[in-house]
Structure 1
Amino acid sequence: MTTRLLSLALIALTATPGFTGAALAAPSLAQKAPSAPGGPEDKATAKPGPETHGLAGPYLAARQAAIANDYRSAADYYLQAMTQDDTDPFLQDSALVALISAGEMERAGALAVTMTDQGRATELARLMQRTELARAGRWQDLVNAIDKAPPPSTRDDVDEVAPGGNQLFDKMMRAWALLGAGNARQALSAFEEMGKVRGARPMVNYHLALAKAAVGDYEGADKLLEDKSAGAHILGVIARAQVLSQLERNADAIKMLEETPGFEEEPHLVALRDRLKKGETLPFDSVRTPADGLAQVYLTFASVLANSDDPDPLALIHARLASYLAPDLGEARLITAQLLQGFGQFDLAEQEFDALRELGDMRPIAELSRIDALTRADRLDDAEKAALSLTAAHPELAQGWIALGDLLRQQDKFAQAIPAYDKALSLIGTKAGEARWFPLYARGIALERSGQFPKAEADFRAALKLRPDSAQVLNYLGYSLVDRGEKLDEALNLIKRAVELRPDDGYILDSLAWAYYRMGRYDEAVAPMEKAVSAMAGDSLVNDHMGDIYWMAGRHREAEIQWQRALSLKPEQESEAQRIHAKLDRGLDKVLAEEKANGGKLPTPRATQTPADSTKN
């Protein structure tokens, strides 16, 4: 997940000496579950889990679902377990975590009320109730709730790793609540005081700028937002454009927008620029109510917590609460969707992407990320639909057409992929240089697999002119020439160069060995093929090639072992399995002779026997 997409993960914040994400995170919102119900734990530090008598089934099912990030199932199972014991704070808090993570906010709110009424409110229950107060506009009640909360040092559910880590969050929430309660001067003073916290200034100054703009102090807001450490993210850019426009500085706003990295890839920013060029004065609607400001507090913390290779699960809770407070805050929807994708919850993620589209906020960069995640999850049909939607909504975006071509190519729809790459290359233009090499290479593959090798060869050679040391292109062109029996000396040199660049790449070593094989240099083919098999022991085709090379090198017994190994790895195509069976039955020499006499194909494919069938003979 890129820093651009996590648009509120402020770079300056994490670069500040002494700053850690944990230092700003809210406290741990659920007790850590025991390693196993009733299992041994450190008696001095362990927090008790629930008694499992009478509820072991749903409790264990809930734990398993939670481990798998299956939030809906976890919530249902925890609630089912609570029918056996509706007063256990561990079950209640675990259910609350799962409900919020699943986006079931009404049920979460009701449970938080129950926990409070029972006198068992956890940190998350209090946070949920504060959010409900903000949604209802009960700002003074929210201020009072924050003021009456026990200090962090007395709470038994505060994360000991970050003592007092929730204080900044609470103070930012309180400042927005003060603004909502009509105490603007106190609210602004509170933000200014928070800016003195080491490492927190960029984050706080962004919110101070929003608060100043919300009360009409646009000059003060602009002074804060022009500092890139505070406003160098998409919401900050939008807010500053609106502020500058309110100051009758449309020209400055246009310049600022157009100098923003990735500007052309953000349709919303382009639309703002176009409105400014028409002389329109943009309204300041980045924060329409204090609830919007508070939603951005949640979003800020969600972004910080998510800005790592292993996102904190609390990031999802903060993102969900941000969306709950401000349902049309696209950034909150986006980070929620990306986190859900990262946790493998693609159905829940799709709901957030659908919500973004309903808001008219289909961002190309976000959609490309979504397409990539769906592809990696092997949901190619969904990924293809997403790519088609992206190219329909933004036909001017070359990366969308490349993504569509890649998806079609991965599904062996090579002829359909070619026009997608054609469109991408036409949009990139002939003078783009390096940007053309990948779509040229990808289109070359699609052309070659579609039986249009002369055109494919032209694309491969054009890609090599742009990137002469591309091992992928060198290997693909060289292997294609070898497979066709054309320009074998050049093909061998191309593959040798690819091996020099990637000496441990099993696919390239296989190509080198196969080039030697096709040239009749069988003894020279053995060593690289053995290295390829060592690198790719689970690949059926590589083992099949090893068998062919052993056979032609006179090592027939070893060849048969490799062919058996290839069969055990279940070749992708039935024709491949049939050919291996034929080689095991009659030997490679006879199979090659039969294919030569029959136009390159086996005359009568042999039906594949199962191990059970073979024992009957």
Structure 2
Amino acid sequence: MTRIQVLLACVSVSALAACSSAPPSSITLRGPASTGSSLFDTRSSYGQFLAGQAALRDGKSKEAAGYFGTAAVLGEDPGVLGERSFTALLLAGEITRAAAAAPTDPDATEAVKRLGVLTRVVESIAIGKGKDAQALLKSQPPGFPHQQAAALLGPWAAAAAGDSEGAIVQPTLRTDKLVQYFGQQGQARLFERAKRYDEAETDYKALVANAATASIFTLDYGSFLERRKRHADAVALYDNALRTAPSDTGLLRARARAAAKGAPPALPTIRQGAAEGLVACAATFAGERQSQFALAYLRLALRLDPTRDEAWVLVGDLLNQGEDPQGAIEAYAHVQPGSPHYASAQSKTAWAWNDIGDKAKALDVAKAASAAAPNDRDASVALADLLRAGGQWNESVAVLDPIIAREAQAPDWRLLYLRAVALEQAKRWPEAERDLKAALKVNPDEPELLNFLGYSWIDRNENLAEALGMVQKAVAARPQSGAMLDSLGWAYYRLGDYKTAVQKLEAAVEMEPGDPDVNGHLGDAYWKVGRQTEAKFQWQRVLSLEPDDKQKAESETKLKTGLGPTGAAAIKSTVAHN
């Protein structure tokens, strides 16, 4: 679903944030249950309102909903609270309460009112009031940016209302591909519900015949064939898809089930069908970095289908991106063992624990996820990456070795790169170099690979001419990367072109002012061009940037003894040596 590429107009989410009078971002607030002090007097209704504003701004929608609820009890003006309360409740997943709080006042922000109508439509479908949902969509059709969702929900609302003819009308929205494809998927399912199987199959076939949508809807068509007891046709369909995606776990499970003539997936209910369109819209918003709308749509989808695991995973991802790892952990926990999304959810849970700072817990969860699904590639890679992040280099390599060996015929440059990083840190440079060269054969233009191998050679004073060309290519691809510009400056330093090295390294420090290595390199280059005072300043700065033991020792030595010849003498010495 997230592979769909749909062009959307840029959507403002400022109305969702609703933080026009939020306090400065430097203020840190305690949660509602805290007995600690706060900069806001949370004993007053206005204090609760301000605390809710700040919590909403920080992505803590559950806390915000609590604050706004207390503000209402204490007597805060409902007109002031309305939009904020609705937004907080919606983002927290309190859909029933959000629907009741949906703003209808003429003075309310139009964008929030539109989202409120959509929320009321979803709630009506969820509680079996299909006629109310259908009437709302007809009388108050949500405008931009909710036309897609409204169009996709229309047939399902009609089905919930008992309008059999309205249910099978495929929705359209000008040239909108998402509505076209998911509308056709919905029509296929509603035809199947009406036992109009030939018409349903026509829709399914059209979706899998389209190269843009085949990978998205193959499982839907296959499940239809299985429900019709056409197991051989389903197996053939899955086999064809597996030629393109041989390691797709969903396809592999479906093929095994069809071959064994096992029980097929049930036809989705009306609520489940409606939820799928909302998840598709949410994925589009997420791809466009409209994270609040994406989260709101996922919450609406889960009101209709709380068992939809990929929606819970996406909720967790969005909360984690919004710096709410605890909320992400709670979302991932909804995915239970046996789900095809379980290993992924557990791996992401492990990273969330790592973000919180509980690295031991993170590793325990990652190890358990990998053990529960030993053939799940993503779970193993997540474990390897966490081991690497925790400094367990050789252990990380050991996890990656069998995966890379299994995929030797079609190597993944990213896994080779990940293993190379661990090998280099484990002081196993020849093996790391081997992996980097192999990765570059697969993806010769990847800037990260070019920079890693190029810098490693430069730092070892090896293959300098070739390394210079590699990091020049990397910088050309990523001119705003301070790390890559540092590699380029260090290449010129190694080659004795100290003047150019200074220019490049000064630019690198502007981009990466807190990096000890970059500052140290600039200090070295300053020394070589005779700018000793500035060199010492840079080395002293390294000591203030939490350097590792090696960086600290090197800087302290340089501050005591310098680097030998400077200025013209240094350049002359280098030229003579070369």
Q: 2:20 pairs with 32, 35, 38, which one?
A: 35
> Which one-letter code corresponds to 2:62 in the other structure?
R
| Pair 1:59 & 2:49 matched | yes
Deviation at 1:506, TM superposition (A): 4.9
Q: CA deviation at 1:150?
A: 8.6
Name the CA distance, whole Å, in 2 between partners of 1:71 and 1:135. Answer: 22
Deviations 1:198-236 (A, max 9, x none): 344433322222122223333322211222289947774
1:274 Cα offset (Å): 0.2
Q: Does 1:406 align with 2:385?
A: yes
> Using the alignment, how far apart are the partners of 1:524 and 1:31 within structure 2?
54
Counterparts of 2:454 and 2:115, CA distance in 1? 60
Identity of aligned residues (%): 26
Deviation at 1:79, TM superposition (A): 0.8
User: Which amino acid is 1:268 matched to?
Assistant: G
Deviation for aligned residue 1:316: 2.3
SS, match of residue 69 in structure 1: coil
The amino acid that maps onto 1:294 is A
Q: Does 1:559 align with 2:535?
A: yes
Q: Does 1:242 align with 2:223?
A: yes
Query: Aligned partner of 1:323: which letter?
Result: L
C-alpha spacing 1:384/1:172, structure 2 compared with 1 (3 Å): farther
Provide Cα deviations, 1:147-189, integer angstroms capped at 9, x if missing partner: 3789338xxxx65x569887636633431212xxxx4xx32x2
Contact kept? 1:173, 1:297, Cα under 8 Å: no
Q: TM-score, normalised to structure 1's length?
A: 0.71
Amino acid at match of 1:147: A
Aligned to 2:266: 285
Match of 1:596 in 2: none
Matched, 1:207 2:171: no
Structure 1 residue 450 corresponds to structure 2 residue 430: no
Alpha carbons of structure 1 residues 510 and 348: separation in structure 2 relative to 1, 3 Å:
closer
**2:240 paired residue number:** 259
Q: Is the 8 A contact 1:302 1:318 kept in 2?
A: yes
Q: Does 1:73 align with 2:63?
A: yes
- Whether the aligned pair in 2 keeps the contact of 1:498 and 1:508 (CA below 8 Å) is no
Is 1:536 the equivalent of 2:509?
Answer: yes
Partner of 2:157: 174
> Take 2:315 and 2:170, find their aligned partners in 1: how far apart are those partners?
27
The CA deviation at 1:562 is: 2.3
| 1:573 Cα deviation from its structure 2 partner | 1.5
> Which residue of the other structure, out of 220, 242, 246, is the alignment partner of 2:199?
220
In the other structure, the counterpart of 2:575 is: none
Shift of 1:543: 2.2
User: How many angstroms apart in 2 are the aligned matches of 1:148 and 1:479?
Assistant: 62
| Alpha-carbon contact 1:444-1:459 (below 8 Å) kept | yes
SS at match of 2:195: coil
List aligned pairs for 1:178-193, cutoff 5 A. Answer: 178=161, 183=162, 186-187=163-164, 189-193=165-169
Deviation at 1:68, TM superposition (A): 1.7
What one-letter code is carried by the residue in structure 1 that aligns with 2:314?
A: I
Between the aligned partners of 2:444 and 2:274, the Cα distance in structure 1 is: 53
Amino acid at match of 1:254: V
Instruction: Give the equivalent residue in structure 2 for 1:299.
Output: 279
Aligned partner of 1:273 in structure 2 is 255
CA positional deviation for 1:143: 0.8
Which protein has the larger Cα radius of gyration, Structure 1 or Structure 2? 1
Structure 2 equivalent of residue 195 of structure 1: 171
2:287 alignment partner, one of 305, 308, 312: 308
Deviation at 1:471, TM superposition (A): 5.7
Q: Which residues of 2 match residues 90-489 of structure 1 at below 5 A?
A: 90-105=80-95, 108=98, 112=101, 131=122, 134-136=125-127, 138=128, 141-144=129-132, 146-147=134-135, 151-152=139-140, 161=144, 168=151, 171-178=154-161, 183=162, 186-187=163-164, 189-195=165-171, 198=174, 199=176, 200-228=179-207, 232=213, 236-260=217-241, 263-280=245-262, 282-283=263-264, 285-287=266-268, 289-304=269-284, 306-311=285-290, 313-358=292-337, 360-362=339-341, 384=363, 387-429=366-408, 431-432=409-410, 435-464=411-440, 466=442, 472-473=448-449, 476-477=452-453, 479-480=455-456, 483=459, 488=461
Q: 2:559 aligns with which of 584, 589, 592?
A: 584
Instruction: Please state how far the C-alpha of 1:30 moved relative to its aligned partner.
Output: 7.3
Asked if 1 retains the 8 angstrom alpha-carbon contact of 2:416 and 2:438, the reply is yes
CA RMSD of aligned residues (A): 4.4
Q: Does 1:494 align with 2:466?
A: yes
Query: What do residues 265-317 of structure 1 show as CA deviations (whole Å, max 9, x unaligned)?
Result: 5433321210111233x445131x3333333344344344x253222633323
Task: Provide structure 2 residue ranges, at least 5 long, that are not aligned to the other structure.
Answer: 23-41, 106-111, 566-578
Moved more, 68-77 or 356-365: 356-365
* Alignment partners' CA distance in 1, 2:500 and 2:453: 22
Contact in 2 for aligned 1:66/1:74 (Cα 8 Å): yes
Q: Distance in 2 between matches of 1:546 and 1:87?
A: 59
Q: Which moved more, 1:351-360 or 1:76-85?
A: 351-360
Residue identity opposite 1:580 in structure 2: S
Greater shift, 559-568 or 61-70, is seen at 559-568
Equivalent pair of 1:472/1:498 in contact (CA under 8 Å): no
Relative to structure 1, the CA distance from residue 446 to residue 164 in structure 2 (aligned partners, 3 Å threshold; closer, same or farther) is closer
Residue pair 1:152, 1:163 contacting (<8 A) in 2 also: no
Q: Which residue of 1 aligns with 2:2?
A: 3
Q: Distance in 1 between matches of 2:425 and 2:149?
A: 58
User: Displacement, 1:78?
Assistant: 0.7
Q: CA deviation at 1:379?
A: 7.9
How far 1:77 moved relative to its partner? 1.1
Partners of 1:353 and 1:71 in 2: how far apart? 17
Alpha-carbon spacing, 1:358–1:347, altered in 2? closer, same or farther (3 Å): farther
Q: Quick one: which amino acid aligns to residue 274 of structure 1?
A: A
Tell me by how many angstroms 1:243 deviates: 1.3
Q: Distance in 1 between matches of 2:68 and 2:90?
A: 13
Taking structure 1 as reference, are residues 326 and 530 closer, same or farther at Cα in structure 2, changes over 3 Å only?
same
Q: Normalized against structure 2, the TM-score is what?
A: 0.75
How far residue 417 of structure 1 moved from its aligned partner, in angstroms, is 1.8
**Higher mean displacement: 243-252 or 395-404:** 395-404
Q: 1:36 corresponds to which letter in structure 2?
A: S
Counterparts of 1:427 and 1:571 in 2: how far apart (Å)? 40
Residue in 2 that maps onto 1:595: none
Tell me by how many angstroms 1:76 deviates.
1.0
Q: Equivalents in 2 of 1:358, 1:244: separation in Å?
A: 27
Identify the residue that residue 29 of structure 2 maps to in structure 1: none
**Helix, strand or coil at the partner of 1:572:** coil
166-175 or 320-329, which deviates more = 166-175
| Kept after mapping to 1: 8 A contact 2:19/2:57 | no
d(CA) in 2 for partners of 1:391, 1:382: 14
**Aligned residues of 2:519 and 2:539 also touching (Cα < 8 A):** yes
